[in-house]
Amino acid sequence: MNKQNTNLYNNKTYSGGYGFVAIPDNKTIEKCYSLVKEKFPSDWEYLLTAGYLPHVTLYHSKMKEIPVDFARSMKEKLNASLKGLSFNLDNLVCFGRKFIFWNIESSGISYEKIMKSHIDALDLANYLDRAATKRAEEEGLSLTVKEKENVELFNHPLVRDLYTPHITLAYDERAHDYLEVSATEKHSMTIESVEFAEIGHPGIIIKVVEL
């Protein structure tokens, strides 16, 4: 790549739905697929099945002109903190009456590190597209007052002290009636990498961005 092309690449920006996501090990990916097939009706609007990549979102929203240099340096920072760490997945819970989350157990050193990495990833909010339609409103989620405040500030309900690291397994209008109380499904997960990705509804990875 010549000097002129290098400068053009360094000036590249990303606009739209973007964020940082932690990708689990292959065993966890296959476990997600089998768990969804076992537990949830096949006619739901979204199910985490083969073709979708399971992930733990550190932060994503609708962004405007994220510099490639920022995305690259933050990705490196997050990988340095999280790559290779192991976590326990435990409770299946319904969020906003529509999402089914498989939550990370909220204890231990690894949990403290992912919470800190979430705060680091929130630097991405410096590029938040304030004019964009709020995704939580598009999805018609049932939110608390504090979750609504987070949507106003970060265009995401689960940030800062409300951040709940999880893998999204399913999304449907009937989720709340199907899973009114949490269920437990124990599994040990290892983070293989942290990636910068384009994110679509309902929180799926459209593509991992090569930086």
What is the per-residue pLDDT across 98-117, written as a single tens digit (0 to 9) for each?
A: 999 999 999 999 999 999 99
Q: 16, 8 in Cβ contact below 8 A? A: no
pLDDT at 150: 94
Give the pLDDT band (50/70/90) at residue 180. confident
pLDDT at 9: 54
Give the pLDDT band (50/70/90) at residue 16. very high
Say what the pTM is: 0.92
Provide the percentage of residues in the chain whose pLDDT is more than 70: 95
pLDDT at 3: 45
How far apart are alpha carbons 153 and 158 in whole angstroms?
11
Mean residue pLDDT across the chain:
93
For domain 14-208, say whether CATH 3.40.720.10 is its number: no
pLDDT in tens, 48-79: 999 999 999 999 999 999 999 999 999 999 99
How far apart are alpha carbons 105 and 102 in whole angstroms?
9
Domain boundaries, the chain: 14-208
Give the pLDDT band (50/70/90) at residue 154. very high
- Residues sharing a CB contact under 8 Å with residue 155, sequence separation 6 or more, in sequence order: 61, 62, 128, 129, 132, 134, 135, 136
pLDDT, average across residues 136-144: 82
